[in-house]
Structure formats: structure tokens, C-alpha cells
Structure 1
């Protein structure tokens, strides 16, 4: 009797093991999310921004938009990737203070396990922390369940919020 129970449950266990093994694969993830951290550095009067995007999603969106193969592990194409990343991030992420656009400057990127971190800065001498608008449409071309999390830090005070597709803008006041 016990042997029959195990024979009947074996396919269920195999299915569970198969599904769980998918969670350890770096190219598969159940959520479509990016995270951006923006910190105002009062000494340098700059915004320092890091944005984390899953590598497979980022490669897909860049390939789709710019009609070229994208592989962040291919070091020989780094300068071409720099150009694509710069174009993408500066057209999908923006910060305004009192209605004035804070121009993003590409600083670099790196791959860390399953994610790409993109680093940008902005001169923010005129930043008014009472009225900040962040517009973020990262990966909206690919996923209708995309969520973009934004953390904004001014003088040690951290405020966080999220955008769910198709929402585009967040307001922060410090």
C-alpha cells in the first residue's frame, strides 16, 4: 500500500523538483522589476544614481529597440554597449526639480550575477528637494507587469515608491 502511494506521488515530486530547479537559473525570474537609487550628494551637488535591471530583460529590450544582438558578457563589444546603455537609460529615466530637467550623464555599467547595474550622475546645484519628479519607463516596451522601484535620498532621508506599468511619474518632497 505504501509503495503505491510513492509511485503515485513520484510524478508530483518530479514536477515540484523541476519547477524548483527553475528558480536557481539566473536567466529566469518570476517578476519584472527594476530598482533605481538616487542620492543627492550635497558636497559635490550631484545626484548619484544606480539602476539595477535583470540582465536577460535588459539584453532583450536593447536588442528589440536598437535592432542589434546584445550580450553583456561579450567584453569585446563594451564600447558599443556603452552607447546603447547610455541611449536607453537617458531616454527612460529622468529627474526634474521645480520642472527643470536634471541632465543625466552616463558613468558606467557592470554585471553582477543576474543583473546589470547602470551608473549615472546629474549636476544638481539647483536641486530643490521640495519638488522632485522622477519619470521611469524602464522595460515598459517588454512587460505589461513591469514594476520600477525608486529610492530617493536627500540629506540622509530616504523615500521610496514604485511605479507599476503604465504609471510613469513619481513625486518626492523632502
Structure 2
């Protein structure tokens, strides 16, 4: 009888340890940025997608204020924080020259936030460099997936922290 109790207690402890380890396991931290060259309008159309909970956490940490991307009454305040954050954590160069990014806005999509930017007066780029440190100040296991589309040609990569730059040549 004592043997069964010891075996039961051991099994229970192993199960409890495995269960607590699963709860402590760090979730996936990923952002996706897509840069589309619109040759007709001579613009770059940029969208970035990030998990909303991670994004709210990093905005709150950096700007020391309450964040809630889902509340319509905070939309203007959130736009200001997102614009400030993205413009300091995402840089794009065409043909080796930094382009000015214009913040368009954001929208919620289930558990993710989509952010839209644009760069104007872009002439047929031969190379596009994307430098992303989105969420790097929060997570050291951050992964950035980057897609660059130019003239129907798509080039993609994943950038793992601490690396930050991808160059697509056309």
C-alpha cells in the first residue's frame, strides 16, 4: 500500500511540474512587416502586424501610460503612441537612402493589430532595406518576418533578435 502511495505522489509531482512548466513557457513573439512597391503611384505601402497584447505591453512600458488599442475613445491617444513607436523602430531605405515614413493608422484584427504606413516619391528601387526593432525593447526572443514585393517579385525572410535588417535586391 505504501508503494502505491509513493508512486501516486511521485506521478502527481511529475504531472504538476510538467503543467507548471507549460504555463511558464514563453509565448511566440513575432511581428510581420510587408513592403509593397506601388510603381504607378511611386509609393511604398507598408503594413505591420503584431499581437495586440504584446504591442500594448511595449507601448505601456516605453511611454508609461495606460494603453488599450480596442477602446474607440482612446483611438487618438493610441494613434500618437503607435506613430511615435513605429517611426522609431522601423526604418526603410531604397537604394541606400532612408525614406520618410508617413503613419496612416491602425486597426484591430482579432488578437492582432495592423499598422499602416506609406512612403512617397519612390522611384523604381533596385534595393530595399528594412530595419525592424519592433518589440525588441520588450522581448529578446522576438522574430520579425519581412516581405518585400516589387513588380510582382516577392522576397521574404525572418529576422531573429538581435539582428534587425533585411535587404531585398531587385
Instruction: Output the TM-score relative to the length of structure 1.
Output: 0.82
Separation in structure 1 between the aligned mates of residue 166 and residue 155 of structure 2, nearest angstrom: 11
Separation in structure 2 between the aligned mates of residue 108 and residue 73 of structure 1, nearest angstrom: 14
Give structure 1 regions of 4+ aligned residues with deviation exceeding 4 angstroms.
Answer: 9-13
Q: Which runs of 5+ in 1 are unaligned?
A: 1-6, 23-28
Q: Which residue of 2 aligns with 1:98?
A: 95
Separation in structure 2 between the aligned mates of residue 98 and residue 162 of structure 1, nearest angstrom: 21
Shift of residue 126 of structure 1? 3.1
Shift of residue 74 of structure 1? 1.5
Q: Which runs of 5+ in 2 are unaligned?
A: 1-7
Q: Which residue of 1 aligns with 2:147?
A: 151
Separation in structure 2 between the aligned mates of residue 132 and residue 124 of structure 1, nearest angstrom: 14
Higher alpha-carbon Rg: 2
CA RMSD of aligned residues (A): 2.3
Shift of residue 171 of structure 1? 0.9
Query: CA offsets per residue over residues 31-80 of structure 1, 9 Å max, x none?
Result: 10000111001110110111000000000000011110100121111111
1:142 to 138, 141, 156: 138
Separation in structure 2 between the aligned mates of residue 63 and residue 79 of structure 1, nearest angstrom: 15
- The count of aligned residue pairs is 162
